[in-house]
Amino acid sequence: MAAAGDVLRQILPEDGAAGELHVLAVGDSHVDRKVIERLLKISSCKVTVVESETRALQFLGLDGENCSIDFDSLKVNLIMTDYSMPGMTGYELLKKIKQESSLFREIPVVIMSSENILTRIASCLEEGAEDFLLKPVKLSDVKRLTDFMRDEGMKGEKICPKRRRSYDCTPSLSTAFSLISHQS
């Protein structure tokens, strides 16, 4: 997977300290947007917050015709999106991004949801979500995520999902999740 590794070295800042992670956060709750923005800023990220999936796609430049992709146009290193939203859901945004034929599909997408529904978690992970965070999201969740991304950026390796404690899982279920193949 050398090609993917090269791509990710371009997407992720090589020098974790100096390079800033740019995170796009998507959510329809004003309160949640303000909180996630603060959590990300405290974690030393550049943040863009939008209120819907439509706006997210507009920001990424994916809502219209996308003729040429160059590395400069990959504006964000990470997308964090609410699952439940009027209009397009976070799951649908995830699918749209992962189905992209361009480099946009390499952008990690994290789903946030207030509902601990295992089938939902499983489908998101199966669809290629990087992680699934239970709301309300805490600083420790965000720090873990951003630290991990910075580490991966420095190594230049493809990001692989590891089983995490961000959702409630009994040990036997975690084993089941680890068997779900990550879409590459």
Cα 171 to Cα 168: distance, rounded to the nearest angstrom? 10
**In the set 3, 17, 31, 67, which binds other proteins (CB under 8 A)?**
31
Query: Of residues 138-157, which lie at the interface with other proteins (CB under 8 A)?
Result: 138-139
Please choose, out of 11-19, 24-32, 49-57, 167-175, the segment that lies near other proteins by the rule CB under 8 A: 24-32
What is the rounded distance in angstroms from the CA atom of residue 179 to the CA atom of residue 53?
30
- As given in the structure block, the two tokens for residue 27 are 């959510």
Minimum distance between the CB of residue 123 and other proteins, rounded to whole angstroms?
A: 19
Show the site string, 62-91: x = touches other proteins by CB under 8 A, - = not: ----------------------x-------
Q: How many whole angstroms separate alpha carbon 137 and alpha carbon 29?
A: 13
Binding segment for other proteins (CB under 8 A), chosen from 7-15, 35-43, 123-131, 147-155, is 35-43
- Interface with other proteins in residues 37-66 (CB under 8 A): 38-39, 42
Shortest separation between residue 46's beta carbon and other proteins, angstroms: 16
Query: Which tokens is 156 given?
Result: 């230049």
CA 155 to chain centre: 19
Q: Cα Rg for the chain, rounded, in angstroms? A: 15
All residues at 6 or more sequence positions from 151 whose CB lies less than 8 Å from its CB, including other chains: 16
Of 22, 28, 62, 144, the residue at the interface with other proteins (CB under 8 A) is: 28
| Closer by beta carbon to other proteins, 12 or else 35 | 35
Residue 30 binds to other proteins (criterion: CB under 8 A) = yes
Cis peptide before 136 (omega within 30 of 0): yes
Task: Give the whole-angstrom CA distance, residue 99 versus residue 164.
Answer: 25
- The answer to whether the beta carbons of residues 168 and 24 sit under 8 Å apart is no
Site of interaction with other proteins (CB under 8 A): 28-32, 34-35, 38-39, 42, 84, 114, 135-136, 138-139
